[in-house]
Amino acid sequence: MIESFLYLVVFLLLAAGATLFGLLFTGADRILVARMQGRIGPPLLQPFYDLAKLREKEETVPAGAAGWLFRACPAVAAAAALSLCAFVPLFGFRVPGAFAWSGDIVFALYLLLIPGTAMVVGGFASASPYAAIGAQREMVTMASYELPLATAVLAFAWRLSHAGVPEPLAFASFAELPVWSLLGPLGAVGGLLLAAAVAAVVPGELGRIPFDSPEAETELAGGLLVEYGGASLGLFHVAMAVKTVAFAAMAVALFCPYDFGLWAPLAFFLKVGALLFVSVTLPRAAMARLRIRNVAAFYFTALGATALSGALLVVLDAFIAGGAA
């Protein structure tokens, strides 16, 4: 009983920390992009001000909308995003006990799908043509980046399994035996291709420029979230803030699991911050929004081929190393 209570406390602390870090990154990202574009930008705490303002605003349900479904989707998105904090290593810590199990990476990948799916369902439930178009675009984007993401995860998990690791789809296995220590020169090239593919998936997973066509304020007035307001819209913002940190932490846990001992929290901030700066902030400052057909072509064709090539190099490297041994 006491252990369960302690696990709950750890989870709540990690969830609160992920929410805070995600909102702070959103504020820092806006400032950095503004400065790189010659603007001043909003204050660092603007995301917190926005949430406070949304909390005070009245919520409305559009005429013709599926009311109960429209209201439920923001809560589902936030709950799924916060649940990720129980499985993904955050700030150098993890929720111990039942949440550390052999297939936690697969479960985390499924949880990552839920916030986007909830946004799609909420968009269709709103009965808005703008939201329906945004929801369709979100489905295309999600289907497109799943190939390179799944390929990268499975390729590294296969390499651990080939090395005799009993639980290759557990975050703990990646932490105990970093895949890079198993790769030769050919595998290292493949690993870099896989890491680059996952880094390119980050802005699409988070709905950031240049892959933000589902919202596209200048075209769809906000797209699949156009009819949301008040606390419901605030829940979606919280879900995306937590998902930002959780997905970046997941990528770091897979491709750079070194925690540096007592410096683990600082290392976490540096690694996640560097990944988000390269994958989210720089593209937002330098690129314009892509058309949805270009998004699909980039993720499914170009990035899918990159990830598959990286996976093939990792497999060949393992067989070459086995033959040499």
Please write the tens of the pLDDT for every residue from 238-267. Answer: 999 999 999 999 999 999 888 777 788 888
Q: How far apart are CA 83 and CA 99, in angstroms?
A: 10
Q: How far apart are CA 248 and CA 268, in angstroms?
A: 10
Q: How far apart are CA 257 and CA 251, in angstroms?
A: 9
More confident residue, 199 or 325: 199
Q: How far apart are CA 225 and CA 305, in angstroms?
A: 32
- pTM higher than 0.85 for the full model? yes
pLDDT in tens, 63-87: 777 878 888 999 999 999 999 988 8
Range of the domain at 215: 2-324
Q: How far apart are CA 15 and CA 36, in angstroms?
A: 31
In this structure, what token pair is assigned to residue 77? 């998105």
pLDDT of residue 158: 93
* pLDDT over 90 at 10, yes or no: no
Give how many domains the chain has, as a whole number. 1
- Neighbour-count burial of 37, counting CB atoms closer than 10 A to its CB (0-12 exposed, 13-18 middle, 19+ buried): exposed
| Residue 129 identity | P
pLDDT of residue 49: 94
pLDDT of residue 320: 85
Mean pLDDT of the chain: 87
User: In which band, very low, low, confident or very high, does the pLDDT at 98 lie, cut at 50, 70 and 90?
Assistant: low
In this structure, what token pair is assigned to residue 52? 């406070």
pLDDT of residue 68: 85
User: In which band, very low, low, confident or very high, does the pLDDT at 96 lie, cut at 50, 70 and 90?
Assistant: low
pLDDT of residue 324: 52
pLDDT of residue 221: 65
Please give the share of the chain, as a percent, with pLDDT higher than 70: 93
For residue 93, the cross-strand partners are 90
